[in-house]
Amino acid sequence: MKEKKKILVIDDDQSLCRVISYYLSEEGYIVEVCHEGNRGTGLFKKFEPDLLICDIKLPGRDGFFILEFVLSEKPDCPVIMITAHGTVEDAVKAMKMGACDYILKPFNKDELKMTVAKALQMSALVSENRYLRKELEDKYAFENIVGKSPEMEKVFRLISQVAPTDLNILILGESGTGKELVARAIHYNSPRKKKPFIAINASAIPENLMESELFGHKRGAFTGAVSDKKGKFQLAQGGTIFLDEIGDMKPELQVKLLRVIQEKEIDVVGGMEPVKIDVRLITATNKNLEEELEEGRFRDDLYYRLNVISIKLPPLRSRKSDIPFLVDFFLKKHCPEGRITGVSKEVMDVFEKYNWPGNVRELENVIERGIVLSTENVIPADCLPEKLLIPQEKMRKINIDWPEEGISLEEVEKELIKQALEEAENNQTHAAQLLSITRSALIYRMEKYGLK
């Protein structure tokens, strides 16, 4: 059954109070009335209404005093002020103080009902927004970045130090290490946390649409631009924008991003004037940007602008002491009812021996799979993907005949990639698994060595 909303009416006109009470009671509201400002504050504390309707002109304490009291006592409570035609200026003053709306005397039943319904609806939306924002803040709190290894302790310290600042942050790490999670943790622990966090993957958007996605466009700017569209930087106004896979950004767009950082303004596609923006920029990449600089694929001036502070996320294979904590975290996250309480000792042994090319994301996927497949209260080994169960002694040993002049490491890597692609019949995902690297890392190396 829907909970009835409580409304307090404070007005010295007793006949008007009776009319308001009658109209609102018809709508299913619980109504209390009061005729004096002096008594109004006490009744408000006792009745704890969801909405206050208050006349501005009252004997004793006036409506402005009541409004100020309510906003300090219960800021979430919407207040509707009643005023006469000749005192609209007072109503405007009340709105500036924090009242959500006002109604002019005389008013009819429908006007009253509509104003009350709108105020309560807006209050519900504000409460829901606050709840969802709190959920987000909890979800991206430090506690959700799991790890007690020295490598992760260093990451936590850096996040704590940089979150309160407005510095540009560059997050480095392989795919699946949690770069976006760290970016969100920085945002939701910063002074900008009540403003938007907008994430965009630079490698996931077609090159011809990237500028429009970032900076927005005006109607008619290009074929298909049938209306104005705000870009990600405008949507993030006052908050944080997270640019993932920044290493994949084309040189032409790098120039435009550099200008955004320097001038704090964007050029909307098809626009006449630059638009000022106020955002914090966090970027991330799984590439070695210093190598990209040497190869001329990334601008050095942009790199130094982005890399004010860098946070290096360790791969899971270098912090295997964190695996038990991560397993416990993912079990509680994906099986909150507690049906699965852990993993078998055999599974934990497999986890600690496996190389985890997909890092924490891969571990989470394996745990999710195990929860679905397991009929026991723990995840057994037969619920694991086959590739995790290949015994180490069955892994092929590479025998190398070492020539006197030595071997080029790059040539060895190139040859291994060619063999993996041949073995996988040019299936890049399978080839990456054979090499225990991510698909994006394989593609990067294929481009590096000119392999198609």
First vs last C-alpha separation in the chain = 64
User: Would you tell me which CATH number, out of the four given (3.30.1130.10, 3.30.70.1520, 1.25.40.10, 3.40.50.2300), belongs to the domain 6-135?
Assistant: 3.40.50.2300
Which 3 state secondary structure label does DSSP give 12? coil
pLDDT of residue 398: 56
Average pLDDT value for the chain: 87
CATH domain 140-221+228-312 topology: Rossmann fold (3.40.50)
**Which pLDDT belongs to residue 393?**
45
SS3 145: coil
Q: Which listed CATH number (2.30.30, 3.40.190, 3.10.110, 1.10.10) goes with 409-448?
A: 1.10.10
Asked whether this chain's domains 6-135 and 140-221+228-312 adopt the same fold, the reply is: yes
Kindly list the domain boundaries of the chain, sorted by start residue. Answer: 6-135, 140-221+228-312, 316-394, 409-448
Establish whether the linkage from the previous residue to 106 is cis, with ω within 30° of 0.
yes
In the three-class reduction of DSSP (H, G, I as helix; E, B as strand; rest coil), residue 414 is classed as helix
pLDDT attached to residue 359 = 94
- Confidence band, pLDDT 50/70/90 cuts, at residue 38: confident
| Residues 253-266, mean pLDDT to the nearest whole number | 92
Least confident of 91-100, 141-150, 281-290: 141-150
d(CA 8, CA 45): 11
Question: Using an 8 Å Cβ cutoff, are 221 and 263 in contact?
Answer: no
Which residues, listed in sequence order, are joined to residue 31 by a DSSP beta bridge? Answer: 7
Give the up-direction half-sphere exposure of residue 407: CA atoms within 13 A in the CB hemisphere: 11
- 3 state SS of 8: strand
Residue 37 φ then ψ, to 5°? -65, -35
Q: Are 52 and 70 in contact (CB under 8 A)?
A: yes
Per-residue pLDDT of 413-425, as tens digits, reads 888 888 888 888 8
Q: Give every CB contact of residue 55 below 8 A, 6+ residues apart in sequence.
A: 10, 11, 12, 13, 63, 81, 82, 83
Give the pLDDT score at 392.
46
Model pLDDT, residue 322: 94
How many beta carbons lie within 10 A of that of residue 216, not counting itself?
23
Does the pLDDT at position 391 exceed 60? no
pLDDT of residue 43: 92
Closest CA to 274 of 328, 315, 233: 233
Looking at per-residue pLDDT, the higher value among 3 and 129 belongs to 3
Across the range 333-358, mean pLDDT stands at 92
Please give the structure tokens belonging to residue 237. Answer: 């106004």
Q: E-assigned strands of 173-239?
A: 197-201
Tell me what pLDDT residue 135 has.
58
Per-residue pLDDT of 41-94, as tens digits, reads: 999 999 999 999 999 988 888 899 999 999 998 888 999 999 876 577 888 888
Mean pLDDT along residues 212-227:
84
Q: Is the peptide bond before 385 cis (omega within 30 degrees of 0)?
A: no
- Compute φ and ψ for 214, nearest 5 degrees: -75, -45
* Res 143: pLDDT: 61
Instruction: Please report the pLDDT score of residue 192 as a whole number.
Output: 94
Extended beta strands in 35-100, E state: 51-55, 79-84
For residues 281 and 168, is the Cβ–Cβ distance under 8 A?
Answer: yes
b vs e for 243-271, b when ≥16 Cβ sit within 10 Å of the residue's Cβ?
bbbbbbbeeeebeebbebeeeeebbbbee
Residue position matching structure tokens 């519900």: 124
> How many angstroms separate the CA atoms of 377 and 400, rounded?
47
3-state helix, strand, coil in the chain (%, to 5): 50, 15, 35
Q: Report pLDDT for 399.
A: 58
In angstroms, rounded to a whole number, what is the distance separating the alpha carbons of residues 452 and 441? 14
Q: Which amino acid is at 439?
A: R
Among 109, 5, 102, CA closest to 53: 102
Q: Which CATH number fits domain 316-394: 1.10.150.20, 1.10.8.60, 1.10.10.10, 2.40.260.10?
A: 1.10.8.60
Given the structure tokens 């080029």, which residue do they identify?
Answer: 408
* Contact criterion met (CB below 8 Å) for 93 and 48: no
Q: pLDDT exceeding 90 applies to what percent of the chain?
A: 52
Res. 2 pLDDT band, cuts 50 70 90: low
What's the whole-number mean pLDDT along residues 106-123? 91
The span from the CA of 263 to the CA of 278, in Å, is: 11
Cross-strand partners of 312: 172
**Average pLDDT of the residues in 250-268:** 91
**340: confidence class by pLDDT, cuts 50, 70, 90:** very high
8 Å CB contact between 431 and 420: yes
Contact residues for 203 (Cβ-Cβ < 8 A; gap 6+): 244, 245, 248, 440
